[in-house]
Amino acid sequence: MALHEQSLTYVRAISPYQPGKPITQLAREMGLSVEQIVKLASNENPLGMSPKARAAVLAGLSDLARYPDQFALQQSLAERTGLGMERVVLGNGSNDVLDLIARVFLAPGRSAVFAQYAFAVYPLATLSAGAEPIAVAARDYGHDLLAMRQAIRPDTRLVWIANPNNPTGTFLPHAQLREFLQGVPADVVVVLDEAYNEYLPPAERVETIAWLAEMPNLVITRTFSKIYGLAGLRIGYALTSGDIADLMNRVRQPFNCNNLALAAACAALDDHEFVAASYALNRAGMEQIVGGLKRLGCTHIPSHGNFVTFRVADAVLVNQKLLKQGVIVRPIAGYGMPDWLRVTIGTETENARFLVALEAAL
């Protein structure tokens, strides 16, 4: 029997994650120079990384012969959140902690619930643990919490929620979310993925961390990949009960976060100026891009993240025409949204380049 047939059936059923096209790849394909290319495809921070984090990385270069020590970052996050250090689980990107949760709670014969158009990693993590994904029809491109509650079966062990959601940018007001969480059976874990939390305006930002005190089945995940600008270093974390954290640590690779990422994340947490500048740039850029999309007659989904998803008549063609002009956005046909493209908010200049290129492409 062929080796391929010996692999796990549920692994063969997985469709691989499709990342945003790397700049160097487009440069090779189109014969463009790297400098001519604007990448607005992966929700990366257009300001790059915090200068404090950069300094920490350079200082960390002298210590790379040593295995990493997670203590400082765990302690810093524990202080900021008011939780004990044992309730902070670090990951090689928050993607890593999502996978840890799946490995702790999912297996063949179990299922996980998430919304149609929710983050692609949820079906991936569910399928790679051999569990059954239950995708619940979206409502206005966002989570339909009532339908999600009804979709929970006796074999359901996990519910995945992204708030704000990627790729749609939709946001669940915290009162609704809280009511949902209170209605989920106590033996079902809910993952609340807050990768874009820091981009929410203060009025919408509720301390969901306080909910952990009354909801032992809640896992909150956050990342340094977005507003902190450290996507390339791969660092994120989960906040949860001591019990769940302990289980996650049992399947976690002992040294899953590298020295440079740990040092950069510690420094980034303290760079309030950089976070504030990133937030302000995103607000202004969101207005600029949404204004441009309206002017060009493109429908968009109001977004609470650092990206916006908009509809065009022929997304494959428009994407090709953008690529030819050196502008990379994200087609989301893989999410079941073949008529939509997702653009990350860039600098003012990048946003303007995108809008000029889009106008030419339409």
Ligand X SMILES: *Cc1c(COP(=O)(O)O)cnc(C)c1O
Of 52-60, 221-229, 310-318, 322-330, the segment contacting ligand X by CB under 6 A is 221-229
Compute the least distance from the CB of residue 342 to ligand X, in Å.
Answer: 10
Residue 263, CA atoms < 13 Å, CB-side half-sphere: 18
Rounded to whole angstroms, the Cα distance separating 120 from 19 reads 10
Q: Is 197 in the site for ligand X (CB under 6 A)?
A: no
Interaction residues for ligand X, span 53-112 (CB under 6 A): 93-95
CA angle, 310 then 99 then 89, to 5°: 105
Using the minimum distance from each CB to ligand X, give the nearer residue, 124 or 215: 124
Q: Which of 60, 123, 229, 236 binds ligand X (CB under 6 A)?
A: 236
Helix, coil or strand: residue 267: helix
d(CA 275, CA 52): 11
For ligand X, what does the binding mask look like between residues 31 and 60, x meaning CB under 6 A?
Answer: ------------x-----------------
Question: Using the rule CB under 6 A, which residue among 168, 208, 217, 225 binds ligand X?
Answer: 225
85: Cβ contacts below 8 Å, ≥ 6 apart:
74, 75, 78
- Could you say whether residue 231 binds ligand X (CB under 6 A)? yes
Using DSSP's 3-state secondary structure scheme, residue 168 falls into: coil
Least gap, CB of 297 to ligand X (angstroms):
28
Nearer to ligand X, 125 or 355 (CB): 125
> What is 121-160 written as a DSSP string?
HHHHHHHHTTPEEEEEPPBTTB--HHHHHHH--TTEEEEE
193 touches ligand X by CB under 6 A: yes
Q: How far is the CB of 328 from ligand X (least distance, A)?
A: 16
Does residue 142 bind ligand X (CB under 6 A)?
no
Give just the sign of the alpha carbon dihedral 8, 12, 15, 21: positive
Least distance to ligand X, CB of residue 280, Å? 20
Give least dist CB 162 to ligand X, A. Answer: 4
Cβ at position 74, least distance to ligand X in Å = 17
Q: Which residue lies nearer to ligand X by CB, 266 or 357?
A: 266
Q: Is 310 exposed, middle or buried (0-12, 13-18, 19+ CB in 10 A)?
A: buried
Peptide bond into 254 cis (omega under 30): no
Cα–Cα distances (Å) from 134 to 17, 128, 168, 191, in that order, read 18, 14, 19, 15
Indicate whether 163 belongs to the interface with ligand X (CB under 6 A).
Answer: no
Minimum CB distance to ligand X, residue 112 (Å): 15
Note whether 119 binds ligand X by CB under 6 A: yes
Q: How far apart are CA 76 and CA 262, in angstroms?
A: 11
Binding site for ligand X (CB under 6 A): 43, 93-95, 119, 162, 166, 193, 195, 223, 225-226, 231, 236
